[in-house]
Amino acid sequence: MAYWLPSLRLRTEARPLPRIPDAEIRRLDTTRARLRLALAATLSVAGVLAFVVFPPRELLVSADGKVITVVSRQQDIATLLGSAGVDRDPGDVFVVSSNAITVERAIPVVVEADGVTMSWRTRAISVEGLLRELRIDVSPHDAIYYNGLRVAATDPVYPRPINTSSLASYGIYNETPGDVQGIIVDIKRAVPVTVVEDGRAVTLQTSVETVNDALTEAGISLGPADEVFPSVTTTLNSGMQIEVSHARAINLRLGDQTQIIYSQAETLEEALLEAGYTFGPEDRVEPALSVAVTNDMEARIVRVVGQPFFEREDVVHKTVFKPDDSLTGIETVRTEGHDGVRITEYKIVIEDGVETERTYVGESFDPEPEDTVIYYSASAINSTGSAEDLQVAKTMSMYATWYNAASSGKPATHPAYGITRSGVPLTKGIVAVDPNVIPLGSKLFIPGYGFAVAGDTGGGIIGDMVDLGYPDGVAVDWRTGWVDVYILQ
């Protein structure tokens, strides 16, 4: 609304001033002089009173981490601090005692919440108190970041930042010594997230950044071969659904080694193939490959190898006697043989390196042993039995002598003259031996003498000796000496 005022014109007339008498002027000058003197006296008295009533005093001023000594009569705190170079910002508080002044600074704060940035100065002792000053409510699921570090609402407000986050972007932060450093409080609101773990759904409120952080907060740990969708690095958003499928553990034994494999497979065969295991035609898997995989199940792979196995055994050749009608008397013909090797074949089954089964397959010789054959005249065995193939049980090197009935030391008239230990008369083919070396009754063959039977003993025949018997009146063609004696079976 506007107002209009009419213009005014003022008329003035010039009039002469009245003349003041000289006496009056002198009186006025005297009065002024007296007033000046009274004022000066009053000021002097006031100064004296001020010096007496308000004497100078010494104060300690503590501000911004410094302590300053100030001497002043000034009673106004703000003026006194100003003279000491200490500024007062909004929210600062002065704590005054008789000889000290402490400046408690309000902390500059930038609070970001719900998309709004607010600047503030606070002397609250806790984050909760600071937020209450700004009328900001937080739930137990919301995240509060204090200079980039997550804190609880009950954590204290520190007069300086608790890490190196800068407030420079807000124009209120600097690192000049003595300046109060501010803080940034960021409120991250919780959002609803659904976690489906192995088919079980749980809805939670969380304020973390990523899927991995949400799972950690929910107490869900991930193991080998576990599957998560979306990936653990995905940024969370409101209403997101996270699918977690845990792999099942299989305690697998292979030989004397045990290991744990993890798999999402449905059957044991799929799990083992997925883990890189292959099977031979004779291998065995316990339980069966078609069994469904369950968590913490026990499984075993038995490596089975069926293979031939050969045993080699040296075979010593035999010496045998065979009759030959072309030979006469004590004549013999010797054909040398040789030793052989018997090869026995088995099929063995090895499970995890341990033989569990052995089956006999057959045997062969390489080379095959060949007997040494001594061919003899069929007539030469008349005193020991019928002509036949005879095998040698043992061959001994013995010292061979000869004797007859007359050399026995008994007279011809003696009843035991010419009677051997076996009770038969002495004749060719009966020999005397040490029974401790060759049992009586053993069949023998002595080259150059022929077949014989151990049928007699003698006092001088001890150890590896043999005494070859001859009948009386027969010319002896034997020369005493060492000879191989074949002991026949």
**pLDDT tens digit string along 293-351?**
999 999 999 988 888 888 999 999 988 888 888 888 888 898 999 999 999 999 888 88
Whether 151 maps to a domain, the answer reads yes
Q: Is residue 389 located within the same domain as residue 471?
A: yes
pLDDT of residue 351: 84
Burial class (CB in 10 A: 0-12, 13-18, 19+), 444: buried
pLDDT of residue 50: 44
Q: Is residue 184 located within the same domain as residue 196?
A: no
What's the CA gap between 209 and 135, in Å, rounded?
25
Q: Which residue has the tokens 């010496």?
A: 319
pLDDT of residue 39: 62
Q: Is residue 129 located within the same domain as residue 172?
A: yes
Cis-peptide into 56, omega within 30 deg:
no
C-alpha triplet 117, 214, 207: angle, nearest 5°: 20
Q: Residue 19, Cβ neighbours under 10 Å: how many?
A: 6
Whether 19 maps to a domain, the answer reads no
Whether 377 maps to a domain, the answer reads no
Sequence-distant (≥ 6) Cβ neighbours of residue 195 within 8 angstroms: 201, 202, 203, 204, 214, 215, 218, 220, 241, 242, 244
- CATH number of the CATH domain containing 228: 3.10.20.90
Q: Is residue 468 located within the same domain as residue 398?
A: yes
Q: Is residue 468 located within the same domain as residue 416?
A: yes
Query: What is the SS3 assignment for the chain?
Result: CCCCCCCCCCCCCCCCCCCCCHHHHHHHHHHHHHHHHHHHHHHHHHHHHHHHHCCCEEEEEEECCEEEEEEECCCCHHHHHHHCCCCCCCCCEEEECCCEEEEECCEEEEEEECCEEEEEEECCCEHHHHHHHCCCCCCCCCEEEECCEEECCCCECCCCCCCCCCCHHHCCCCCCCCCCCCEEEEEECCEEEEEEECCEEEEEEECCCEHHHHHHHCCCCCCCCCEEECCCCCECCCCCEEEEECCEEEEEEECCEEEEEEECCCEHHHHHHHCCCCCCCCCEEECCCCCECCCCEEEEEECEEEEEEEEEEEECCCEEEEECCCCCCCCEEEECCECEEEEEEEEEEEECCEEEEEEEEEEEECCCCECEEEEECHHHHCCCCCCCCEEEEEEEEEEEEEECCHHHCCCCCCCCCCECCCCCECCCCEEEECCCCCCCCCEEEECCCEEEEEEECCCCCCCCEEEEECCCCCCCCCCCEEEEEEEEC
Measured over the CA atoms of residue 173, residue 137, residue 148 and residue 180, the dihedral's sign is positive
C-alpha triplet 307, 312, 317: angle, nearest 5°: 150
For residues 486 and 438, is the Cβ–Cβ distance under 8 A? no
Of the residues 206, 224, 245, the one at which a domain ends: 245
Whether 28 maps to a domain, the answer reads no
Residues of the chain with pLDDT under 70: 1-55, 64, 159-181, 380-388
Measured over the CA atoms of residue 350, residue 355, residue 360 and residue 365, the dihedral's sign is positive
C-alpha triplet 273, 275, 279: angle, nearest 5°: 40
Whether 395 maps to a domain, the answer reads yes
Q: Is residue 140 located within the same domain as residue 152?
A: yes
What's the CA gap between 383 and 166, in Å, rounded?
130
pLDDT of residue 275: 93
Q: Is residue 476 located within the same domain as residue 387?
A: yes
Whether 40 maps to a domain, the answer reads no
Q: Is residue 184 located within the same domain as residue 233?
A: no
Whether 3 maps to a domain, the answer reads no
What's the CA gap between 246 and 224, in Å, rounded?
9
- CATH number of the CATH domain containing 426: 2.40.40.10
Q: Is residue 92 located within the same domain as residue 178?
A: no
Measured over the CA atoms of residue 380, residue 386, residue 392 and residue 393, the dihedral's sign is negative
One-letter amino acid identity for 418?
G
Half-sphere CA count of 70, side-chain side, radius 13 A: 25
For residues 349 and 308, is the Cβ–Cβ distance under 8 A? no
pLDDT of residue 299: 96
Model pLDDT for residues 120-157, shown as the tens digit of each residue: 888 888 999 999 999 999 999 999 998 888 899 999 88
Of the residues 104, 130, 160, the one at which a domain ends: 104
Sequence-distant (≥ 6) Cβ neighbours of residue 463 within 8 angstroms: 434, 437
Please give the residue range of the domain that contains residue 62: 57-104
For residue 146, give both structure tokens: 């204090």
Q: Is residue 315 located within the same domain as residue 359?
A: yes
Whether 419 maps to a domain, the answer reads yes
- Ramachandran area for residue 364 (φ above 0: left; ψ -120 to 50: alpha; else beta): beta
What's the CA gap between 88 and 278, in Å, rounded?
82
Q: Is residue 298 located within the same domain as residue 393?
A: no
Q: Residue 3, Cβ neighbours under 10 Å: how many?
A: 4
End-to-end CA distance of the chain: 159
The count of structural domains within the chain is: 6
pLDDT of residue 83: 74
pLDDT of residue 13: 41
What's the CA gap between 317 and 370, in Å, rounded?
6
Of the residues 365, 390, 416, the one at which a domain ends: 365
Q: Is residue 123 located within the same domain as residue 71?
A: no
pLDDT of residue 380: 67
What's the CA gap between 244 and 231, in Å, rounded?
10
